[in-house]
Every structure is written in C-alpha cells, then in structure tokens.
Structure 1
Amino acid sequence: MTLLAVQNLGKSFGGVVAARDVAFTLERGEMLALIGPNGAGKSTVFNMIGGQLRPDHGAILLDGQAITAASPQARFRKGVGRTFQVAQTFLSMTVVENVQMALVSCHREAQGLWKPTREHYRGQALELLALMGMADAADRSCSALAYGDVKRVELAIALAGGPKLLLMDEPTAGMAPRERAALMDLTSSIAASRQIGVLFTEHDMDVVFGHAARVLVLLRGEIIAAGSPDEIRQNPRVRQAYLGDEHALHAPALERPA
C-alpha cells in the first residue's frame, strides 16, 4: 500500500491561489523532493501535509487513512515526523534532553513528569544520538553546538516517534556543502533501512539531484513536472520556470553534481 497519498489539495489566501489540485504519492523508503521557484507554493503544500494549514479541498491519506483534519500533534503520533528550515530545538536544554522530551511526547507522558526529565527514555535517546553521530555531545547544551550539529539533533527528535513519513523543510539550509551532503547521506541511509518515506523541500539542486529518487516541481501552485532527477533536469518547462529561458541547457543551478 502507498504510504502517502495527496489528492487534489487546494488552498487560496484571499484571491491568491497558493495550491491548485496538487496530487502525488510517496512510497516507503522513497526520497521525494518538492521544488520550485520562490512563490511556487512549496511551503503551502508542505504545511498542509504537516498539518500547519488546513486545505480548502482535497485529502491526505497516510497508510490509506485520512489525516486531512488531524493536528500536527496527532500526525506525529500517527507516524509523521518533521524538521524545519530553522532548526527547532530547546537551546536551554542539553542535546539528550531534547530527544528525551520528544520521546516523552510520543508516549503521551507530558502530563505526568513527576520525576526529572533525565530519567525518561535516556537510553533510547542516546541510541538515536549515536545514529546521528552525536552521542559524545549528549550532555552538552544545544546552545553550544554548531548549526550543522543542531540539524542532526533535530533529525534525532523527528525520528523519536518512529515515523513512517518524514517531512524535511529545507533540511540543509544554513549548512556548509560538506555538511549538507553528510546529512542527506545519513537521511537516505535511515530512510532505506527503516523504510521511512521522506518528502523534502530544497533549494540546493546538488542536494535534490544527488539524493531524491523522484522530484516534483511546483509553479504557481500546480505540479508542472514529476519524474527522476534526470527527467526533471532535462525538462524544458522546468528550465524555463527556473531560468526564464527554455534553451538554457547547462545552467549550473540545474546540473547534476559530479
């Protein structure tokens, strides 16, 4: 069964159509990129799937069950994890405490924290941090970490709920090129080994072409192209949308990384 099915989602803000009949599917273990020029509607579509926005029409199915009206918290408990363009962590807490809090939330124990947080799920949190290569930083404050390491902590938080679906909004924003590749290599490996479907938005075409199995291209709220990275790279309408010139065959922004 298809993991995620997005069916004819539509959203308008006043007289502006931000998403028009957006439809696609995502399979388990698949890395799917959602791209488009600024103002294309990526954030609107992404936030409807994440539950931050309610669509005007259409449906979102996870494992065949409708989650269209579910809150972000309910989606988390149903198996939807998320990272954000600006990493969302508690800077006043240690690295391991951030992951422990996510585990507590997943197990619905936030109302009963009668013992110190450090005693809840520490072992599981350390396992997730080890997967991220962050175990040695477990007891450091998040405020003392480099930004690339904060992104890894955020990924550990997103994985705390054992997600079926992982939504990553600009996962490499603010990172150095080498850090970007390392984070996405790690994500691809985890997605494949745990059969997690990953939907991500991204401006860096090296990241898109190097890690996505399929790519969706949005323009003015509509999907104008869908296919493999090679198919998208060669699509004249995509090049025109990004470059304003359908004859620009070798623009750096759309080249496959070496």
Structure 2
Amino acid sequence: MTLLTVDDLHKSFGGVMAARDVTFTVASGEMLAVIGPNGAGKSTVFNMVGGQLTPDRGKVLLDGQDITRASPQKRFRRGVGRTFQVAQTFLSMSAAENVQMALISCNRQSNGLWAPARDRHRDKAVELLSRVGMEEAADTPCSALAYGDVKRVELAIALAGQPKLLLMDEPTAGMAPRERATLMDLTASIAESQGIGVLFTEHDMDVVFGHAARVLVLLRGQIIASGTPDEVRRDEQVKRAYLGDEHALERPKGMTPA
C-alpha cells in the first residue's frame, strides 16, 4: 500500500534549482534510500518531505492527505517521525527520560506540567527501549552511552510518536561499521513488522545496498535513476554520474565515498 506520495516537487534558491520534477512513492514497510553526490539535492528533497522546507511547486501526500504545507510538528502528529544526522537527545537525561519526554509531547501534556514528569509514561518508555535493545540502559544518562547506543535511543524516541513514516537523515553517520549494520538491521526489522515506511539518505553504500528495497539517485536536483539496489548498481548513467567514477557503486566492503 502506498504510504507517501511525492509529486513533482520543485525548489530553487535564487538562481539555483535544487530540486526539479522530483516524483516518487514509499510503501508501508518499505525502505527507500536517496543517494547522490554532494550537492545533488538530497537534503532539499528530504527537508521538503519533513516540512523544514516548503516546495515552490508540487505536493507531498501522506496516506492520501496533503501535508505539503504542514509544519514539522503537524506532520509528527500525523505520523511522520524523524532521526537526525547528529543524534538529538538530552545528554543529561537518562535514556528512559528522553523517551518519556517524547511521549509527553505526543500526548500533548507539556503545557501546564506542574507535577514531576519522572513517572509519566515510564512503562511505555521502557517498552520502546526494549524494542531497540536498550532496556538495560533505561536509567543510564545518554552522555554515558556509546554513540551507537545513543542512535538507538533516538530511534526509540522517533517510535514514541507511532509513526507511519520514518525519515532518517544519514542514520549511520559517525558510527563504526558493525554499529551501522546493527542499527539498520534493527530499523528494517521494525519497519517490516510494524508496516512503517522508511525514507533515508546515506553516504555509506554498504548500508544503502544492504538494506534498501529501492534506491533513488539524484543529480543536480533531478532523479536520474530509481529501482532495486541491483538495478541501480548496474545503471550506466549512475556509474558515470556518481562521483565521476565508474566503479563508485562497486567498492569493496567497508569503503565509503567521500
């Protein structure tokens, strides 16, 4: 079932066309990767889907509902979750408290919060941490966690909003290779079991071709290829365009394009 429909998005900054004729879909339970060289328009497209940017033209539909001009907050409440390239957590708070804060926000309990929040949604927060393998660290401050574990806490925070669509901006940035595989394996499992559509940008080609069901390739703001990882890997236009290196998508394991 189609969850996200992006139709004919355009965006320019001054005389620079950052996105042109961008059209794609994401199905429930599907993981779609958006790749391309630096300056290809990935962040622009990603932020138009997330609500940080408003397109000059085109539409973004979630479950058939137009969210093109909805704020990020409204999109969150309609079922759009997000993680960031640099993990967004309160480092002085425990893992559970971070998730509790997200649950308090989701339940619109942040206004007039006079009573201590420590016990609010505690059980639900621990349950979400358990889903990402972080239950034993529930009472550990995020400042004391390894970065890969902080990224898993951030995933639990995103899941607090019961998202239909999860946006992940370079989810494995700053992580060791083994941590990258663990995080993306976990994300794929959750997406499949809960029917969550995942749209992610990524520079690590091992992550992209190892976890995406489909890959979208951007160059100068336009889609130049779309298909399964194998189809995109074999695409001659992609090989020529991606960093100008015909072997850029066939690197040995562990090597990541700059």
**TM-score interval for Structure 1 and Structure 2 normalised by the shorter chain:** over 0.9
Residue 118 of structure 1, CA deviation? 1.1
Equivalent residue, structure 2, for 1:110: 110
Deviations 1:225-257 (A, max 9, x none): 0000000000011111114244x487417999x
Residue 2 of structure 1, CA deviation? 1.4
One-letter amino acid matched to 1:113: L
TM-score where L is the length of structure 2: 0.95
Residue 117 of structure 1, CA deviation? 1.5
- In structure 1, distance between residues paired with 2:186 and 2:155: 10
- In structure 1, distance between residues paired with 2:174 and 2:125: 25
SS at structure 2 position matched to 1:49: helix
Equivalent residue, structure 2, for 1:219: 219
Q: Which ranges in structure 1 are unaligned for 5 or more consecutive residues?
A: none
Q: Which ranges in structure 2 are unaligned for 5 or more consecutive residues?
A: none
Q: How does 1:100-249 map to 2 (within 5 A)?
A: 100-246=100-246, 248=247
Contact 2:51 2:68 in 1 (8 A): yes
Contact 2:205 2:249 in 1 (8 A): no
Contact 1:205 1:253 in 2 (8 A): no
Deviates most, 135-144 or 154-163: 135-144
Residue 132 of structure 1, CA deviation? 1.1
SS at structure 1 position matched to 2:241: helix
- In structure 2, distance between residues paired with 1:250 and 1:103: 40
TM-score where L is the length of structure 1: 0.95
Q: Percent identity?
A: 74
One-letter amino acid matched to 2:127: E
Shift >2 Å, 4+ stretches? 248-251, 253-256
- In structure 2, distance between residues paired with 1:106 and 1:172: 26
One-letter amino acid matched to 1:42: K
- In structure 2, distance between residues paired with 1:130 and 1:22: 37
Contact 1:233 1:254 in 2 (8 A): no
One-letter amino acid matched to 1:233: R
- In structure 2, distance between residues paired with 1:191 and 1:220: 30
Note closer, same or farther for the CA distance 1:38–1:104 as it changes in structure 2 (3 Å cut). same
- In structure 2, distance between residues paired with 1:254 and 1:38: 21
Note closer, same or farther for the CA distance 1:217–1:255 as it changes in structure 2 (3 Å cut). farther
Higher helix share: 1
- In structure 1, distance between residues paired with 2:243 and 2:11: 26
- In structure 2, distance between residues paired with 1:249 and 1:128: 38
Residue 114 of structure 1, CA deviation? 2.0
Q: How many equivalent residue pairs?
A: 255
Two-structure CA RMSD over aligned residues (Å): 1.6
- In structure 2, distance between residues paired with 1:87 and 1:178: 18
